[in-house]
Chains A and B, each alone.
Chain A
Amino acid sequence: MTRIKIKIRVIRVIIRVIRVAEKMIDVKHIAKLARLGLTKEEEKKFETELSSILDFVEKLKEVKTENIEPTAQATGVFNVFRESQAHPICQDEKMKEDILKNAPNKEGRYFKVKRVLE
């Protein structure tokens, strides 16, 4: 009798853990995808903040959207083509120099990047 009770209690705890876990965001994983470094405290803070925002957007689930097309562009423009030619703006040599001036690391007329392949 007591064994069954304990089993039921264990199952209940497991269900609760799963429920909480479902709502929890894997902040570390998301931060890596986003290429954002986070401190330990920030990880914790984001976890609660993001969950509260997600609770807020949960509201969308109430809306029935079967057979509704998604809207990505509200004024109906799509597939705008142009000639495959360099724009005159690309002829501006001074601009090219100014663009490179903003580079944190460069060599000659190139952006300098850390080794990509190990």
Chain B
Amino acid sequence: MLLNELTITQAQQGLKNKKFSAVELTEAVFGQIKKSDKEIHAYLSLNEKGALAQAKEIDGQIAKGKDLPQLAGIPAAIKDNILVRGLRCTAGSKILENFVAPYDATVIEKLKQAGAVILGKTNMDEFAMGSSTENSAFGPTKNPSDLQRVPGGSSGGSAAAVAAHEAICALGSDTGGSIRQPASFCGVVGLKPTYGAVSRFGLMAMASSLDQIGPIAKTVEDCQIIFEAIKGKDELDSTSTESNRKSGIKNQEPSRLDGLKIGIPKEYFAKGIDEKVEKTVNKAIDKFIELGAKVKEITLPHTEYALACYYIIMPSEVSANLARYDGIKYGTSAASDSRQSALSILDVYLKTRQEGFGKEVRRRIMLGTYALSAGYYDAYYLKAQKVRTLIKQDFDKAFEKVDLILTPTSPTPAFKIGEKIEDPVKMYLSDIYTVPVNLAGLPALSLPCGKAGQLPVGLQIIGPHFGEALIFEAASAFEKSA
């Protein structure tokens, strides 16, 4: 087996037993990047020198026989909206084309402390707005399973890098499905943790009441290892919290799920779902029954309003968060163009933002500004926040009866590049099963559960707040049985 194809656990074993060095492992991954990334375009920038220096340091520690931290020598790719000190950080936007991160995000500090090797920054929809990575200002990423198709988004670069073995693991961010949907399209595992479980200090804010950072990896176990390394309260992110919830399954073999109660929301299998996706997911549900879980139909009656609710709340928060890109503190600026020296400050704002932001970003800023503008706030934003309460209550009620909820991650497998880019509403529908989870602040994981033709299908496992351990337990049992 090639070194770049190893999982975290396998790589750790190999490093510990000195079958290969951390430098060799990192070199193998860069070898793959050079071979396949011209076509896939998962990366926006590479950190080869820095990564090899980090790997060398780990090798030094191994030689000295030191105890190794959890992720020692593991090459990881980072979505380009997470700051890594000294590296360019563009968020897939022209407005930050030359921005160099002046500090590390808390998750990066934690990964570095755990010994991870930072490979580079991955492609994404501009400021994480999109479901296909086609909204990147630097060109789309392609799906490693089929180069004619999108890898999903917005963390499409991270998911594609892991799927193409151009990284052992990666970090993404998820506001409405941006970790889970690309994980599903690329056939890898992705976790959106509970809102607040992972610090967002150093993540470029998109919609602050929804954003979460999470791992993308080849296995459930790998996802858990990264999650354990990055989670926890951080005083630099006041929304972060410590979670102490224990797993819910007790006294049984790790490969069985006896006594686990699983809910299947009937609203998630209604119109719009691809036939093959439905079949594959139903087969996966049968597997859970074989493993001993008790499956029953549940109802989440406000599901049909979730997407509309999201498309008010998210752009509203986007319009406020992206006000900071004003061409003054950082980023490309109309003011730095010497031919434009006569511009007034208002003109600088208007021109900087007109030229720096792409179409979808501007569309959402406009929509959010409208929803928050005088006379419309109650009708749109406040109304959506109230509907959000009802969506959350649906889940609260469901979790009184069941431990976990299973759904498809996305209604279709990966679609063709260009297929939905001209129709925003059609594009938004690909997040219909992931968006409610962010509105309710819940944790959810997507893992491969089969294929529709050549294309991977993802199963979404949703848990109660801070129920990650239970999700991992169930996902792991399913993965091992496959």
Contacts and interface: CB of A to CB of B under 8 A. Distances in A.
A116 B441 CA distance: 41
Interface string B307-326: 11101100000010001001
A49 B156 CA distance: 25
Most chain B CB within a 10 A radius of its CB, from A57, A70, A87: A57
Interface residues of B, number: 74
Contacts of B390: 63, 65, 68
A8 interface: no
B194 interface: yes
Nearest to B343: A114
Given A63-B390, A115-B345, A35 B308 contact: no
Nearest to B322: A34
Contacts of A65: 383, 386-387, 390
Nearest to B102: A98
Most chain B CB within a 10 A radius of its CB, from A36, A61, A73, A105: A36
Contacts of B367: 50, 53-54
A36 B385 contact: no
A107 to B, nearest CB: 13
A63 B365 contact: no
Contact of A36 (B328, B333, B353, B465): B353
A45 to B, nearest CB: 9
Contact of B99 (A38, A70, A102): A102
B196 A75 contact: yes
Most chain A CB within a 10 A radius of its CB, from B86, B370, B441: B370
B365 A36 contact: yes
B100 A101 contact: yes
A98 B363 CA distance: 32
Given A35-B323, A98-B102, A69 B386 contact: yes
A4 interface: no
A49 B311 CA distance: 13
Contacts of A53: 311, 363, 367, 424-425
Interface string B355-388: 1010000110111011001000000101111111
A33 B102 contact: no
A35 B353 contact: yes
Contacts of B302: 63
A97 B307 CA distance: 43
Contacts of A25: 370
Nearest to A96: B102
Contacts of A2: none
A8 B424 CA distance: 40
A71 B366 contact: no
A91 B465 CA distance: 36
Contacts of B236: 87, 89
A5 to B, nearest CB: 37
Contacts of B343: 114
Given A50-B363, A52-B425, A65-B390, A60 B383 contact: yes
Nearest to B332: A104
Contacts of B327: 104
B441 to A, nearest CB: 3
Interface string B221-257: 0000000000000011011010000000000000000
A34 B209 contact: no
B350 interface: yes
Nearest to B389: A71
A95 to B, nearest CB: 5
A55 B428 CA distance: 14
Nearest to A66: B386
Contacts of B311: 53, 56-57
B41 interface: no
Contacts of A36: 350, 353-354, 357, 362, 365-366
B440 interface: yes
Interface string A29-64: 011011111100000001001101110111111110
3 closest Cβ pairs, A-B complex? A74-B441, A37-B354, A70-B385
10 contacts: A33-B369, A35-B353, A46-B366, A56-B428, A60-B380, A63-B305, A73-B441, A77-B239, A103-B329, A104-B331
